[in-house]
Structure formats: C-alpha cells, structure tokens
Amino acid sequence: MLFSLLSIFLAGLLAAFFYRRYPKVALPVLSLFLLGIIAYFARFTAPVLQGEVLIQEVPWINALDIHFTFLLDGLSLFFALLITVFGLLILLYSSKYMEHSAQRGRFVSYLLLFMGSMLGVVLSANLISLFVFWELTSFSSFLLIGFNHRQEASRRAARQALLITSGGGLALMAGFIFLEIATGSGYQLTELLTRPEAVADSGLRTAAIILIAIGAISKSAQFPLHFWLPNAMAAPTPVSAYLHAATMVKAGVYLLFRLNPLFQEVALWHHLLGITGALTMTLGAWKAFQEDDLKRILAYTTVSALGILFMMVGLGGEAAVNAAMVYLMAHALYKGALFLAAGSIDHQTGSRRISQLSDLMRKMPATAAAVLLSAASMAGVLPLLGFVGKELLYDALYHSGQEWSMIYLALLFMAGAFFKAVSIDIVYNALIRKGNLQDKTIREADVFMAFPPLLMAAVSLLAGIAPALVVEPLLKWSAADIYAAEPSMKLKLWHGFNRVFLLSVATLLAGAGLYVLRDRLRQVSKPAWLDADYWYDAVVSTTETLAKASTEILQNGYLRNYIATVILAFSALLIYALVDGGLGLPRPPEGLFNGLQIYELVIFALVVLAVVFLFNIRSRLIVTATFGIIGYSIALAYTLFSAPDVAITQFLAETLTLILLILIIHRLPPYTLRNTITRIKYLPVAILFGVLMTITSWIILEQDKDSALQRYFLEKSISEGKGQNAVNVILVDFRALDTLGEITVLTVTMIGIIALLAFQTDRAEL
C-alpha cells in the first residue's frame, strides 16, 4: 500500500515535468497507471468481503512512535476505490477541460498529489500519518482552488480554504495527541479503538471529542465553518467535482466514521455532531435554493448533504450508519456527475447560470441525460440510488427513538423539499425550457467530457435498481466497520407503501410547491451579518488591526522607547526578585568611604559632570563624545587598581568605538528630541534604573565569597605564569583566549572604521 501511494506521488512529480510537453503519451500512460492502481485495490475486494482486515506497517519515526501503518478494511477499501475510480474519470475529463491551460502539467500534478494524500487519509491506521495526509489534502486543495491565480477571487478563496481547514487541522492534531496521552497506544487506530474506557478514564475525552469535531467540521464544511466550500467553487470544475464534492470534503465524515467505535457511547459525541449536522443540512439546503449559479447550487447542496451525514453519525445506531453509508455513495455519484456536467455546460455554452441556460436536452443530449438522472437521484426519485438512500435516512430517523430524532426528521423533510425544488429548477429550466439558447449553435461536449458524468449517472441508476447486487456487498462491510459489529445492511429498492414512503411523496410535493413559490421566497432580503463570509472578513480585519496597533506600540521606530521598554521590563523583574527574595533596602556597606583618595573623587566628579552635561545636549555627536569622557574616566579607574593592561585596552576600545560611532552618527539626520516634556518623561526611568543598580551593587558587595580562583592566580602567576603582575598574567596566560577575542574585536572595529571612511556608496545597490 505504501508503494501504491509513493507511486502516485512520483507520478505527480513526473507529470509536472512531462505532462504538458508530451500530452499524447502522458495521458494514456497515466490512465493505465491509475487503472493499475484501481486493479490493485480491487484485488483486495475478495478478502475484505470475507471480513478480513489487511495491515501493513512501515516504520518511519521511531523516536515519536509515528509510522506508516496502513489498514484495509471495508471502510477504507470503499473510500480507496471511490478515490481512485473518480480520480481516473476526473483525469480523463480534465484532459479536455483543461486542454488550453498553460499550466495543465501543474494541474495534473496537484491532482495526483491530492489523490495520493486522500488515499493516505483513508488507509492510515496511525493517527499522525493520517493527520499528515489530511493536511496534505488541505494543501493540495489550496493549490487547486487557487489554480486560476490571476483572479483575486480565486486567491482569496484558496487562502480562506487553507486557513479554515488548517486551523481545524491544528485542533484535530491536539485532539489526536490527547487520545495518545489517554491510551498510550502509539497512535495506532487498531489498538486505540479497542480502548474507549481508557479514553473515558483519562478525563481527556470531552476535550478530545470537541477538538476532533472541530477538525472534522472545518474539513467537511459544517456550520459555522461551511463558507469556504461555496467560495472554493473558484477552482476549475473538475476540482470541484473531485475534491469538493466526492472525496476531500468527505474526509471529515470519514474520520467520524473511523472514530465512531471509540465515542459511540458518549452523549456529547451524538449531540455535538447531530446538532451541527442538522443545522448545516438545513442552512445549506436553504442557501442552495437561493442560488442561480449551477456550481454554487451544487456547493450548497454538498454542504447540506455533508450535514446529513454528520447528523446521522450523531443519531447513532446501526440503521443510521447504514443509511449514512448508502447516502454517501449516492451523493458522491450524483454530485460528481452534476459537477462534471455543469463544467461541460459552462465549457460549451459559456455560462452556468440557470437563468441564462435552456434547451440543453436538445443541444447536449448526453450531458443532459447525466444531469437528468443525477438530479433525480439528488431529489430522491425512484428508482435511483438517491431514493434508496433517502428512504433509509427517513427510516432510520423514524424508528430511532432517540430524543432528537423527530426534530432531525422534520428538518430533513425541509431540506429534502429544498433539494427537490432545486432539482426541478435545474431540470426544467436548464434542460427542457425553450429559451435564449434555442437558436444558438451549441455542440455536445467532447466524449472525454461527456462520458464520465454519464457513467456516474448510469451507476446511480443501476445501483438504484439493484442495490443488493451493486453496492450492498462492499457498503455493508464499510458500515460494519463504523459500528464495529457484524454487518446488518440489507438493501432493496422497494419497501412497500409504508409511512416512510408516504413521507417521501410528501417531500416531493413540498419541493414542487417550493419551486412554484421560489421567486417570492428568493426575494427575502437578509442583512449582511447573516453571511458567514462577513464574519470571516471581520475576523481577518480585526486581526490585522490588532496587529497594526500592537506593533505600533512595540515597534514605533524610536530607539529611546526601545531602551525604556528594556529598562522598565528589567526593573520590574529585578524588583520582583528583590521583594520576593526578602532582600529589601540594604544599607550602604560599611566603610564604603574609608580610605577615599582625592583622585578617586576627581574621577567620580568627572563622571557625574559628564552625566549632568549629557542631559542638556541636543546633538547626537556631542552626546557620543560625552560618553567618551565616561569611558575614559573608567579607564583611569583601572590604572588605580594596578591594572595598566586593562586600562590601555579600555582606552583603545573606547577610542575606536567612539570614532566608529561618530563616523556613523555624523551621516545621520540631526537629533529629533526637541520637546522638553518628552525628555523629562524618560528621567524617572533613568533614575529607577540607577537606584536599582545601586541597591543591587550594595547587596552584592556585602557578599564576600572566598575565591579559589584568586588564590590560584596569585600563587601560580610567578611560578608558572612567569609574571610579577597577576592581572597581567591573567590577561596573557591564564585567560589568554579572552584576550585573543578582544584583539579580534579591536581589529574588526578598525576594519569598520576603514570601511566607513573608504566606502564609495554605490547607488546601484538597494
């Protein structure tokens, strides 16, 4: 399995280089390759239908217990086949659809990157490798949504989708880590799923459920994070069909399916997912009903359909899961076909707004047939797979007995009515009605574009007529993996005239009614804040405003503020350390002024005078020069402590630094600090700092630790260092490396001076 994934990624890489240059060779080769992959997975059908589970382990990061563990059971096999078969159809379709794009090589490359990642998601049995693939699907979706990257709308939609899904991904990662902390199962799904009690006992279960749900909600476009999906329609249509209808957006649902055995006993799991799903389902259906653009209609019905799946997981129980599984399959088929057909229509007529379309039954019969069948499946009309799915949904809700099930049922009835109204709208107005396209020459789409949707529609029909033969064998095992028990799915098209069927008929009638009233219902005006996009923009702009405001405070361009910030933060820390340590205000050390010499006082006076003088200067140059006085005074002080070497070093360093600084400063604009109030503002900061430093010195000077170093140096400087002056020996022998460093510093300072003087500013460079 690892090999199949790697080969897909490799194919993607090669496609980037060769697909555009050799389309005649690349397309057949790639199609054959994908057929091979499909065959590879199909080969496992036999054992999986016996209830077998295949596992492959490939070590990756031992240090973190992260491995490529692949698991093939009914659920992952179903998804693997869905992904690969759709992938092949999409590839064929886009070979024509994207024919004239200059970047079709990249397009195919991204598509394959996505396919490999999505396969990785459904095959991984290690939570972290699953997560890695999960994020890669988000990322490839980002690249594909932004494919028409010269358009602002595409760029915005791509970035929005990336941020929403990756943001959810971060929550998901935290949730996975919680599961690992709770169970210590090395992220292995197989082990993890058998230990719900460990998760419950850890006290982390609630957090894990919420975090994982956020991940799934963002990925599967559930309310309130649903808005990225309609915007993602900026992607080329094959992408919408593949990622944003059939596969990627189902990743969230897949994850819920996968983890269902772990949480199916928990009320929070059911309520959270059920309510989120029900809300999204209703909202999406209503929004779809408002739209005129085919792709946006399909996007909102997808949001709604994903809501149904969430709701069914929330409802829980075998019947609900069976229904969800069938509905998922039905949805993938009809929605994929509808998207592709919409793409063909757009491609051939130049529009995908229903109000501008007409007559397609006659102009594009093959595509129209696909639309007709698929729309019927979407509306849940006999004898399509959509009908089977809808019946199962009603049935599961009707017989569930769960407290919320009747509310869910009522909402599903509403959503179903909207779906039907939308289907009628599409079929009647785009296909049947005679309108402005009547007299135009419009040709049927190329066979590569007409065939894939027709095939999907045909499967919808076949599966609807004989569900027990076509889809039940695999779906039953998939569903069984979700509730972790023996398969219990029994599919048939016709269940007789029971209450559920009556409900279906009622939905159809309600849908027809909605269709008739649609002009009036669509006119309902709504305020801007009801739109989720409005909130996204609000969050983004608030973040940016906050960023600007905080940065203007922290990084306002004035060095004096930076210094003040550093000093104040330092002072706060030091005061805390002083108070917390009970060090208080010490008295000056005794005998501080004993033996004070007059020349020491002179040096002291020099320093003080320089500082006072400093306060009154407005020129940077003179400020720098005054600093020099202080530096030289300190050097003088060294000579008093019989350290002439240190003093000389200090003189040298001081002089060179001064020259360097003055060279720089005289090229800068004059000092800007003119306002006296501004100057006085910094006085308390300076005083505070001075006081704190004095207190610290007093405290430290009281400590007199007998130093072994001192004794050692005094003892050895003559015998081993061969020098009379211990300071001297320390500098050139005991700690010669320090001196080497200082010499280097001086050399570099000199280089700096030379460079500043000699450099001819070349204007060519920025």
Partner 1 sequence: MSDILTPFILLPLWVLLIAFIFCILFWKYAKVQAVIALTSAAGYLLSAVWLFLAVYQDGIQVVQIGNWPAPYGITLVADLFASIMVLISAVIAFAIILYSLQDISAERKRNGFYPVLLVMVFGVCGSFLTGDVFNLYVWFEVMLVASFVLIVLGNRQGQLEGSVKYVTLSFISSGFLLTGIAILYKLTGTLNMADLSEAIAQHPDPELINLATVFFLVGFGIKAALFPFFSWLPASYPTPPISVVGLMAGLLTKVGVYALMRFFTLLFTYDLPSTHSLLLVLAGLTMFFGVLGALAQRDFKKILSFHIVSQIGYMIMGLALFTPLAIAGSIFYIVHHILVKTNLFLISGIVKVTQGHYLLSKLGGVYDRYPYLTLLFAISAFSLAGIPPLSGFWGKFILAKAGLEANRYFIVAVSLLVGLLTLFSMSKIWVSVFWSSAPGEAKGEFKYDSRTLFKSHYLLILSSVFLTLCTLVLSFYPEALIALSKRTAEQLLDPQIYIDAVLNNNNN
DSSP-derived pairing of the beta strands 66-72 and 54-61: antiparallel
Residue 56 binding partner 1, by CB under 8 A: no
Greatest CA separation for the chain: 116
Q: Which is nearer to partner 1, 138 or 222 (CB)?
A: 138
Least Å distance, CB 552 to partner 1, is 8
Give the separation between CA 224 and CA 553, rounded to whole angstroms.
Answer: 34
* Amino acid symbol at 193: L
Q: Which is nearer to partner 1, 505 or 736 (CB)?
A: 736
Q: Which is nearer to partner 1, 31 or 561 (CB)?
A: 561
- Binding characters for partner 1, 148-187, by CB under 8 A (x = yes): -xx-x--x--xx--xx--xx--xx-xx--xx-xx------
Among 33-41, 57-65, 361-369, 637-645, the segment contacting partner 1 (CB under 8 A): 57-65
DSSP-derived letter for residue 210 is H
Residue 728 binding partner 1, by CB under 8 A: no
Least Å distance, CB 132 to partner 1, is 4
Give the separation between CA 764 and CA 389, rounded to whole angstroms.
Answer: 70
Full 3-state SS string of 484-549: CCCCCCCCCCCCCCCHHHHHHHHHHHHHHHHHHCHHHHHCCCCCHHHCHHHHHHHHHHHHHHHHHH
- Binding characters for partner 1, 284-323, by CB under 8 A (x = yes): ----------------------------------------
Q: Cβ(290)–Cβ(522) under 8 Å?
A: yes
Residue 754 binding partner 1, by CB under 8 A: yes
Q: Which is nearer to partner 1, 149 or 490 (CB)?
A: 149
Least Å distance, CB 84 to partner 1, is 22
Least Å distance, CB 411 to partner 1, is 32
> How many residues lie near partner 1 (CB under 8 A)?
108
Q: Which is nearer to partner 1, 12 or 389 (CB)?
A: 12
Considering only residues 475 to 504 of the shown chain, the ones binding partner 1 according to CB under 8 A are none
Residue 756 binding partner 1, by CB under 8 A: yes
List CB contacts of 290: < 8 A, sequence separation 6 or more.
522
Q: Which is nearer to partner 1, 60 or 413 (CB)?
A: 60
Q: Which long-range contacts (CB under 8 A, 24 or more apart) does 619-628 make?
A: 619/670, 619/671, 620/665, 620/668, 620/670, 620/671, 621/662, 621/665, 621/666, 623/671, 624/658, 624/661, 624/662, 624/665, 625/658, 625/662, 627/658, 628/654, 628/655, 628/658
Give the separation between CA 340 and CA 366, rounded to whole angstroms.
Answer: 12
Least Å distance, CB 126 to partner 1, is 13
Options 10, 58, 61, 680; binder of partner 1; rule CB under 8 A: 61
Considering only residues 70 to 129 of the shown chain, the ones binding partner 1 according to CB under 8 A are 102-103, 106, 128
List CB contacts of 280: < 8 A, sequence separation 6 or more.
221, 222, 223, 226, 303, 304, 306, 307, 310
Q: Which is nearer to partner 1, 6 or 516 (CB)?
A: 6
Least Å distance, CB 630 to partner 1, is 13
Helix axes 318-349, 472-483, angle to 10 degrees: 120
Q: How many CB atoms lie within 10 A of CB 148?
A: 16
Q: Cβ(376)–Cβ(486) under 8 Å?
A: no
Options 447, 592, 680, 751; binder of partner 1; rule CB under 8 A: 751
H or E segment and range at residue 252: helix 251-263
Q: Cβ(277)–Cβ(224) under 8 Å?
A: no
Q: Which long-range contacts (CB under 8 A, 24 or more apart) does 518-527 make?
A: 518/289, 518/421, 518/425, 521/289, 522/289, 522/290
> What does the block give as tokens for 136?
């890669």
Nearest to 333 by CA among 423, 492, 453: 453
Considering only residues 555 to 584 of the shown chain, the ones binding partner 1 according to CB under 8 A are 555, 557, 559, 561-563, 565-566, 569-570, 573-574, 577-578, 580-583
Options 3, 535, 604, 712; binder of partner 1; rule CB under 8 A: 712
Residue 762 binding partner 1, by CB under 8 A: yes
Q: Which is nearer to partner 1, 115 or 214 (CB)?
A: 214
- What is the number of helices (H) and of strands (E) in the chain? 35, 2
Considering only residues 353 to 392 of the shown chain, the ones binding partner 1 according to CB under 8 A are none
Q: Which is nearer to partner 1, 204 or 330 (CB)?
A: 204
Helix extents (H) in 291-317: 294-315
Least Å distance, CB 562 to partner 1, is 4
Considering only residues 222 to 261 of the shown chain, the ones binding partner 1 according to CB under 8 A are none
Least Å distance, CB 147 to partner 1, is 10
Q: Which is nearer to partner 1, 200 or 563 (CB)?
A: 563
Among 135-143, 298-306, 312-320, 398-406, the segment contacting partner 1 (CB under 8 A): 135-143
Q: Which is nearer to partner 1, 602 or 748 (CB)?
A: 748
Helix axes 152-183, 127-145, angle to 10 degrees: 180
Considering only residues 652 to 711 of the shown chain, the ones binding partner 1 according to CB under 8 A are 661, 664-665, 667-668, 693, 696, 699-701, 703-710
List CB contacts of 738: < 8 A, sequence separation 6 or more.
731
Least Å distance, CB 573 to partner 1, is 5
Least Å distance, CB 265 to partner 1, is 24
Least Å distance, CB 377 to partner 1, is 37
Considering only residues 510 to 549 of the shown chain, the ones binding partner 1 according to CB under 8 A are 543-544, 546-548
Least Å distance, CB 735 to partner 1, is 6
Q: Which is nearer to partner 1, 582 or 595 (CB)?
A: 582
Options 139, 227, 334, 536; binder of partner 1; rule CB under 8 A: 139
Helix extents (H) in 598-643: 598-614, 620-640
- Binding characters for partner 1, 729-748, by CB under 8 A (x = yes): ----xxxxxx--xx-xx-xx
Give the separation between CA 578 and CA 584, rounded to whole angstroms.
Answer: 6
Least Å distance, CB 67 to partner 1, is 10
Q: Which is nearer to partner 1, 485 or 592 (CB)?
A: 592
Instruction: Assign 712 to helix, strand or coil.
Output: helix
Least Å distance, CB 206 to partner 1, is 13
b/e 165-185 (16+ beta carbons within 10 angstroms → b): bbebbebbbbbbbbbbebbeb
